[in-house]
Amino acid sequence: MSVPVLFFSYFALASIVISLIVITRKNYIHAVLWTLLLFVHISGIYLFLNAEFFAMIQMIVYAGAILVMLIFVIMLLNVKHEDHLSDVSSLSIPKAFLVFCVLGVLAIVLQTSYLNTTGKFSIDLVNKVSDAKLLGQIFYSEANLPLIIMGVVLFVPMIAAIVLAGKRSDE
């Protein structure tokens, strides 16, 4: 077994085990901290895929912004662990069947979508010009409409947060 395969199997196994730990925690803060560890491992998996920009974004946006926001709200509301672990054992047969159906559909779709194509962005090109530079060039040329839509999508929750959680004027 070569060294990359060994490292990848560590990251994959750790990701699965940590995500199992995450969904079974009673304490919310513990769950969020285990999620932080999971995101660090997923960021390591992105490094295998020559996506170092995404490894960085994963750390900055997910670990740095989203999880901190979640911890902030948990501490603001001061909810500790109202959740009981018996919730996890409430996995009934229809729910488990649904999960197996989703897994089966994913397996079939992903098997058939395997295209061994050689596209424009070969591994040598990504290694020579950096990942972030190529992504930026695409975002400003052929994928400029998704960039604009992303701006609108990021503008919506600002309005939503102000309208939903802001101070009422009639209080």
Partner 1 sequence: MVPLNAYLILAATIFAIGLIGFMTRRSIIMMLLCVELMLNAVNITLISLSHYMQDFMGQVIALLIIANAGAGMATGLALLINGYRLKKTVKIDLFKDMRG
Helix (H) / strand (E) element for 48: namely helix 28-48
| CB 83 to partner 1: min, Å | 5
Give the Cα separation of 43 and 52 in Å (integer).
Answer: 8
Under the criterion CB under 8 A, does residue 138 sit at the interface with partner 1?
Answer: yes
Q: Which of the residues 49 through 78 are near partner 1 (CB under 8 A)?
A: 49-51, 53-54, 57-58, 61-62, 65-66, 69-70, 73-74, 76-77
Near partner 1 by CB under 8 A: residue from 75, 127, 146, 148? 146
Which residue in 1, 118, 128, 170 binds partner 1 (CB under 8 A)? 118
Return the DSSP state at 88.
G
- Does 129 sit near partner 1 (CB under 8 A)? no
What is the CA 35 to chain-centroid distance, rounded?
10
**Binding to partner 1 by residue 99, rule CB under 8 A?**
yes
Q: Is 93 in the site for partner 1 (CB under 8 A)?
A: no
Give 41's contacts (C-beta < 8 A, 6+ positions apart): 11, 14, 15, 18
The amino acid at residue 16 is I
Q: Is 79 in the site for partner 1 (CB under 8 A)?
A: yes
Find tokens 């939503």 and name the residue. 160
